[in-house]
Structure 1
């Protein structure tokens, strides 16, 4: 006998955000260079590892995002920068609609030439493997080319605000 759920399919977007806001997410900035060599990027809260063999990661940009359109037009390589707990200002600067978001943000080129943000907790240089359609977002799967970790705890987003997390020492 099939399970019937009353009200299924009528989830209000505000309720969806409220409930899923109970799940903390890391904050990353996906970067690349445009055709003029200018750093471009976007803040992403939906990022995950996908596979160890081959090494794959994924992020989920909004289809309507102008930053995502610019990243997609820049080619198939990108770098995921895991922001450190003290980089909320970087997050806010990249989240703006300004043309030159990286004017006051220090960065160096990754081995593939993508911007690695100074002070990031980690960075992951990738080449796009696949882009899947997923409602009002895309699922971008990237093959990891090279990666490294910095110091510091990650910046987290939870219930509409930013914070950090430091694990308890192992007993």
Structure 2
């Protein structure tokens, strides 16, 4: 792949990471996500990008909604689990405290804040697919300032359970 300079540009960014969870067909899944963000104010919309190679992508493909969780730096072990293991081999939810949202989507107890979004569209972005979410349920953020949220540089050392 030719060097377009984009890698040098994106290496300067330090975006907040999130953990996305899904459930469909009796399966639960979740992964650490570095590509996500608000994409509309009115109506409020958020997009998360999942790798096509990821177990969570396959479950999310059949899901009606996804949960997006923010984790503070004290939650690094949670990010390491959801980023460094694959649901193809490990039941990540057996290792953490969680509860179902109103629609059954898994909510992680260790998250600083979360929302559940109904999937309104899927967008082909190449090796990742964007899931456009319409927020339908959310927690209030905790007292920690936003500077305490996990970022890409905090999880740089995590070896992905699946290649991107």
TM-score range, shorter chain: 0.7 to 0.9
Residue 158 of structure 1 aligns with which residue? 153
Per the normalisation by structure 1, the TM-score is 0.77
Per the normalisation by structure 2, the TM-score is 0.80
Residue 49 of structure 1 aligns with which residue? 38
2:80 matches 1:80: no
Residue 19 of structure 2 aligns with which residue? 29
Corresponding residue SS for 1:87: helix
Corresponding residue SS for 1:142: strand
Corresponding residue SS for 1:123: strand
What value does the CA root-mean-square deviation take over the aligned residues?
2.2
Q: 1:69 aligned to 30, 37, 58, which one? A: 58
Check conservation: 2:67, 2:105, Cα contact below 8 A: yes
Uncovered stretches (5+) of structure 1, i.e. residues with no partner: 1-8, 163-171
Residue 142 of structure 1 aligns with which residue? 133
Structure 1 consecutive aligned stretches of length 4 or more whose deviation exceeds 3 Å: 15-19, 159-162
Check conservation: 1:25, 1:157, Cα contact below 8 A: yes
- 1:76-108 Cα shifts (integer Å, max 9, x gaps): 111111112211111111121233012111112
Uncovered stretches (5+) of structure 2, i.e. residues with no partner: 158-164
- 1:144-167 Cα shifts (integer Å, max 9, x gaps): 1121234233111228637xxxxx
Q: Which has the larger radius of gyration?
A: 1
Residue 11 of structure 1 aligns with which residue? 3
Distance (whole Å) between structure 2 residues aligned to residue 21 and residue 159 of structure 1:
13
Distance (whole Å) between structure 2 residues aligned to residue 27 and residue 102 of structure 1:
19
Residue 165 of structure 1 aligns with which residue? none
Corresponding residue SS for 1:103: helix
Corresponding residue SS for 1:68: helix
Aligned residues: 150
Residue 129 of structure 1 aligns with which residue? 120
Check conservation: 1:40, 1:67, Cα contact below 8 A: yes
Higher normalized helix content (fraction of residues): 2
